[in-house]
Amino acid sequence: MDWEQLLSLRRKGDTNKRLRNEQNETRLGFDVDYDRIIFSAAFRSLQDKTQVIPLSKTDFVHTRLTHSLEVSVVGRSLGRLAGKRILEKHPYLKEIHGYKFNDFGAIVAAAALAHDIGNPPFGHSGEKSIGEYFKNGKGKRFKSELSDKEYQDIIDFEGNANGFKLLTQDRAGVPGGLRLSYATLGAFMKYPKESLPKRPSKHIADKKFGFFQTEKESFFEVAKDLGLIQTSIGPSVSFARHPLTYLVEAADDICYTIIDFEDGINLGLISEDYALEYLIKLVKDSINTKKYNSLKYREDRLSYLRALAINTLIQDAVSIFMDNEDKILNGTFDVSLLDKSKYEAQVKDIISLSVQNVYRAKEVVEKEIAGYKIIADILEVYTDALVEKKNQSASNYHNLILETLPEFYQRTEISLYEILLNTCCYVASLSDSSAVHIHNKISGKQL
């Protein structure tokens, strides 16, 4: 893959190539991507979506929105640091085409900002509960009417694929969705493959899938423009990752490793003494002991260690990225950057403690159980109403139910697959509180 092509400023609908030298420096195209994402309704809904603790009423626990903003900030630093070294290694990008190190930071920041934009309510259990309804619940009755890939899209409903759909989906009068640059879309595409075959290799890019069948054409257009390497030819579609995706992934990995751990401490799920011991192991080469010992309050000590830990992992991730640039550009680097980190053992220790004390905490498990029931019930009511309308056998109740859907999701002139997928995407668009409210309404618990 070639950096000039990978840094494409082209957007859906463009007839000519957008040149970096012709960009307005006061509002670069990659900066426009960031603005469009942050002002979108899908991004705003993240303020009431679970990061770790579902429906938490505490002030200091992260939502998907605060997590996404923090990942974006870390991603910007990763992109700028890597961009500076890439331009030193490939000076033609700057001298001939006009690219600057901030361009890399802007691309990674925008893609990182959007990385969770397609995630359902109630955390990762939200994805699983959507798939479970169609795999083992009442939605299983639709299997015989869908192709294998269509059915797999739904039973393995994937927030990354839904995110790509949200960012690129045509709407009446709005072709191309947010119309982001192809460089940003490429960096966003963490798993550049379709849902089948499932896990065809141990390569990190094959771990999940990144687009639904409805977005296959849009995905191909982006991949072709960027010059991504096609890794599967024939009935199954997969490509090598955009190199900057590794930096987006690293930003997410760094934030959830350190900040979810911090949430656990603030919630009292992890003791401060135990937690500080883990963080100090990670930052022992950079900590100023005198400064640390002068900090009187726990939140200040924790904040200091968190900043050092994030910076330590940023510097390490950029070094790994540059050391493996050739492999990344030819699609053969098959793990995440942190999997090659010299701090891998410390990171694993922190994640292990978070899994044990935070992710599997009683409050989290109980809210996830509630989320399964809420999502299944909402899916059942809306899929029944939409399918009955498509079959021209809708009852008055079904028609009333459909009136509560946004107009875009009321369409039934489309295929069964699109109806079911759109319903999944509607449920995924709901915030935690909205999902609870709708469930109460359709269950008759609230007038």
What pLDDT is recorded for position 85? 98
- Kindly indicate the confidence band of residue 59, based on its pLDDT and cuts at 50, 70 and 90: low
Per-residue pLDDT for 102 more than 90? yes
pLDDT for 50: 78
d(CA 338, CA 335): 8
Q: How far apart are CA 281 and CA 344, in angstroms?
A: 12
pLDDT at 446: 67
Q: Given this model, what pLDDT does residue 138 score?
A: 95
pLDDT tens digit sequence for 9-52: 999 999 899 999 989 888 889 999 999 999 999 999 999 887 77
pLDDT over 80 (residue 53): no
CA–CA distance, 211 with 238 (Å, rounded to integer): 10
DSSP secondary structure of 71-111: HHHHHHHHHHHHHHHHHHH-THHHHTT---HHHHHHHHHHH
- The number of C-alpha atoms within 13 Å of 312 and in the hemisphere containing its C-beta is 23
pLDDT tens by residue, 70-101: 999 999 999 999 999 999 999 999 999 999 99
What digits encode the pLDDT tens for the residues 150-199? 999 999 999 999 999 999 998 888 888 999 999 999 999 999 999 999 99
Q: What is the mean pLDDT of residues 106-121?
A: 97
Write out pLDDT tens, residues 202-229: 999 999 999 999 999 999 999 999 999 9
Question: Percent of the chain at pLDDT above 70?
Answer: 98
The per-residue pLDDT for 307 is: 95
Pairing mode of beta strands 230-232, 238-239: antiparallel
Q: Does the model's pTM come out above 0.85?
A: yes
pLDDT band at 425 (very low <50, low <70, confident <90, very high): very high
Instruction: Report the range of poorest mean pLDDT among 58-67, 130-139, 315-324, 343-352.
Output: 58-67
Q: Which of 245, 261, 250, 248 is nearest to 314 (CA)?
A: 250
Query: What is residue 56's DSSP assignment?
Result: -
Per-residue pLDDT at 223 = 98
pLDDT value, residue 97? 96
Q: Where are the alpha helices (DSSP H) in 355-442?
A: 362-390, 396-403, 416-429, 432-442
> Pick the residue with more confidence: 445 or 248?
248
CA dist 279 and 444 (Å) reads: 48
In this model, does residue 54 exceed pLDDT 60?
no
Q: What is the 3-state secondary structure (H, E, C) of 268-314?
A: CCCCHHHHHHHHHHHHCCCCCHHHHHHCCCHHHHHHHHHHHHHHHHH
Amino acid identity at 93: L
Q: Tell me which range, 51-55, 87-91, 301-305, is most confidently predicted by mean pLDDT.
A: 87-91
> What mean pLDDT is predicted for residues 400-414?
95
Domains, in order of start, for the chain: 121-148+361-447 (1.10.3550.10), 245-359 (1.10.3410.10)
Report how far Cα 212 is from the mean position of its chain's Cα atoms. Answer: 15
User: Measured between alpha carbons, how far is 265 from 272 in angstroms, rounded to an integer?
Assistant: 6
**Percent over 90 (pLDDT), the chain:** 78
